[in-house]
Amino acid sequence: MDRGTGRSTFLLIVALLLVFGGGAIATLVQTDFGAVRVQDVRFAVADGRMVHAKLYRPRGATAEAPAPGVLAVHGYINANGTQSPYAIELARRGYVVLAIDQPGHGYSDPPAFAGAFGGPESLAYLRSLAFVDLDQVVLSGHSMGGWAVLIAAAVAPDAYTSIVVSGSSTGTFGAPEGTPTYPRNLGLVFSQYDEFSELMWGAPTGVAAAATPKMQALFGTDAPVEPERLYGDPAAGTARMLYAPAVTHPGDHITTAGIAPVIDWVQRTTDAPFELAPSDQVWMWKEAGTGIALLGFVFALFAFAGLLLDARAFAPLANRSAPAAGLTGFGWWLGAAIAAAIPAATFFWAQNETNALLAPNRWFPQQITNGLTGWALFNGAITLVLVLLWFAFAGRKNGARLDTLGLRVGGFFRAIVFAVLVVGAGYALLALSDGLFHTDFRVWVVAVKLLSTGQFLIALVYLLPFVAFFLVFGMALHGQLRPRGSGDEGADAMVANALIAVGGFLVLLGVQYVPLLTGEPLPFGEPLLTIVAFQLLFLMPLVAMLSTYLFRRTGSVWPGAWVNGMLVTWYVIASQATHVAG
């Protein structure tokens, strides 16, 4: 075994230890060390769609001793995994929790928004379970999931005991207007820094939402609503309470401050089988476990790639690159700054323009993915023009040629096979972990998930645009921005390229969130796309490091373009909503 193979083998061992160790931690916390059974369920609804959900059933919940039930519904472009903190905490307190994938999300059949966001049909399924106490059923939803459960409450007014919504509102997107008597016994969690305050309550900030006429009408008062004051009468079904934790909209489901109000309201309005203080929370250890597994997955990609490149079948790919002929000195810093700035500067505009031109359809059925694809192609075109201008007017004078850009002739089809094997091995590792531990690889909304059959077919359509983007991405990083005279691209190049890839988004999020966290609205608006950008803090450094490593090993941008194209397409398609049924 040579030195390179030994390093890759060692890295793979470390990766497997992280994946399986993290998965074991996650499943132990998720099941409360065996006290809660967690299983995937699917149920058909009236129009023939299948709804997928994760069912958390405490061992003591039986037909003879039914337990209180909770329907938990996630928000837009999320899935039931973002509800796991709520589900874990309520299940360990003895509640049966049904955490659904909304229609068109996760593994539920498209289209998105069907069946009133899945609320009424999921409530009916929860009430069909013999081990659920029908006199104690709570509805819980975050963001768009709040609209789902509010509509369910209106459709079946006698089918629930109380309701708690986070980062949501009445009277929005089909949810009926709230009154002092509808919905029954409402807990409202609306955070101080919620990005969607204008959409939900017509307020410039989350703090200001309490003084809006809309919220005052819901609470039956003419004064600003006071957080954590009980309004109305629980016995009459008119109870109201506002919780205003100092977090953001996505922070509602990933902070102890955001989770505690939901626990509190559920326990206030039902008889908890095992009542615990709302501050007594363990869900973060499950999140730590899946985060460790996610790190192991990343390490495994590099290890798989290294082992394959050391194998005889892929030896023709393993060539050194041509001598570097890129920018140096001030020119490099200027080029790096431009490369970092352009993707962030165009992030909102390019996606909005794409979605204005291309509505979801049979071939391109995911709205957010359409926007991201248009943004990637737009940035790829700009980057290609800049790289070609540099090549024509400066690079060639310094000895640049096509193989300097990584466009080495030969090995094109071998690079595709290589990428399929690397990404396929990562996919197999996730499938194995999911089978063993019933968890995916995730931290917060950054989640690497298995694809459904429908999602796999959708991914094939979006694949080539992303590959094209990463081809140009590689040409810029390893051609134009590989300084003249630089040698082997090692760890320093990986770090530099990762910072170039993510730097603009760090600035963009800082520009958005510094004012928000000091009591002002988001300067550029765009709350949804701003939250989407958080995932790029993981993806962009990862693809830059993968591209750099593979270029160092092969001298070609093709392996990195195909690996990153497949990886990002898989990641995006599995995590987005599908708006049109195939």
Inter-residue contact 137 to 159 (CB < 8 Å): yes
* Residue whose C-alpha is closest to residue 283's, from 40, 108, 26, 577: 26
DSSP of 172-198: STTPPPP-SSSSSSEEEE--TB-TTHH
Has residue 406 been placed in a domain?
Answer: yes
- Judged against a pLDDT cut of 80, whether residue 122 lies above it is answered with yes
How far, in Å, CA of 419 to CA of 422, rounded? 5
Domain of residue 382, residue span: 286-575
Q: Which residues contact 417 (CB under 8 A, 6 or more apart)?
A: none
Q: Residue 4: its pLDDT value, please?
A: 64
How far, in Å, CA of 179 to CA of 171, rounded? 10
Has residue 27 been placed in a domain?
Answer: no
- Judged against a pLDDT cut of 60, whether residue 1 lies above it is answered with no
79-93, 489-503, 555-569: range with lowest mean pLDDT? 489-503
**Could you tell me where the beta strands, DSSP code E, fall in 404-561?**
441-443, 446-448
Residue finishing a domain among 230, 259, 279 = 279
The enclosing domain of 222 has a CATH number of 3.40.50.1820
* Residue whose C-alpha is closest to residue 300's, from 20, 539, 3, 495: 20
> Are residues 565 and 436 part of one domain?
yes
> 394: which DSSP letter?
I
Percentage of the chain with pLDDT > 90? 88
* Residue whose C-alpha is closest to residue 136's, from 185, 92, 74, 100: 185
Has residue 52 been placed in a domain?
Answer: yes
**Side chain identity at residue 449, one-letter code:** K
- 487 confidence band (pLDDT: 50, 70, 90): low
**CA dihedral of 159, 162, 168, 173, whole degrees rounded to 10:** 20
**Beta-strand pair 96-100/50-58:** antiparallel
How far, in Å, CA of 431 to CA of 554, rounded? 29
Q: Tell me the residue length of the chain.
A: 582
> Are residues 290 and 238 part of one domain?
no
> Are residues 297 and 255 part of one domain?
no
Burial class (CB in 10 A: 0-12, 13-18, 19+), 358: middle
> Are residues 234 and 305 part of one domain?
no
> Are residues 443 and 495 part of one domain?
yes
Phi, psi of 419 (to 5 degrees): -65, -40
> Are residues 291 and 275 part of one domain?
no
- 564 confidence band (pLDDT: 50, 70, 90): very high
* The two three-digit tokens of residue 232, written as one number: 């109305």
- 489 confidence band (pLDDT: 50, 70, 90): low
* The two three-digit tokens of residue 66, written as one number: 């039914």
- Judged against a pLDDT cut of 80, whether residue 399 lies above it is answered with no
Has residue 169 been placed in a domain?
Answer: yes
Has residue 190 been placed in a domain?
Answer: yes
> Are residues 268 and 291 part of one domain?
no
Residue finishing a domain among 279, 299, 316 = 279
> Are residues 300 and 410 part of one domain?
yes
DSSP of 68-99: EEEEEE--TT--GGGGHHHHHHHHTTT-EEEE
> Are residues 187 and 45 part of one domain?
yes
> Are residues 563 and 445 part of one domain?
yes
- 484 confidence band (pLDDT: 50, 70, 90): confident
> 226: which DSSP letter?
P
> Are residues 305 and 256 part of one domain?
no
> Are residues 304 and 248 part of one domain?
no
Q: Note the pTM of the prediction, 2 decimals.
A: 0.95
To the nearest whole number, what is the mean pLDDT of the chain?
A: 95
78-87, 373-382, 393-402, 563-572: range with lowest mean pLDDT? 393-402
Inter-residue contact 559 to 415 (CB < 8 Å): yes
Has residue 580 been placed in a domain?
Answer: no
> 250: which DSSP letter?
G
Has residue 80 been placed in a domain?
Answer: yes
Q: Residue 404: its pLDDT value, please?
A: 80
Q: Write the secondary structure of 403-447 as one string of H (helix), E (strand) and C (coil).
A: HHHCCCCCCHHHHHHHHHHHHHHHHHHHHHHHHHHCCCEEECCEE
Q: How many domains does the chain have?
A: 2
Beta bridge partners of 69: 96, 137
Q: Which residues contact 566 (CB under 8 A, 6 or more apart)?
A: 419, 420, 423, 463, 467
Summarize pLDDT for 350-387 with one digit per residue, the tens: 999 999 999 999 999 999 999 999 999 999 999 999 99
Higher pLDDT, 394 or 15: 15
Question: Helix or strand or coil: residue 52?
Answer: strand
Percentage of the chain with pLDDT > 70? 98
Alpha helices in 46-143 (DSSP H): 84-91, 114-117, 119-127
* The two three-digit tokens of residue 56, written as one number: 């958390």
Residue with tokens 């006199």: 135
Residue finishing a domain among 255, 279, 303 = 279
Count each helix (H run) and each strand (E run) in the chain, helices first: 18, 10
Across 131-140, 323-332, 410-419, the highest mean pLDDT is recorded for 131-140
* The two three-digit tokens of residue 273, written as one number: 């089988």
Has residue 564 been placed in a domain?
Answer: yes
* The two three-digit tokens of residue 150, written as one number: 């509010």
Phi, psi of 249 (to 5 degrees): -60, -55
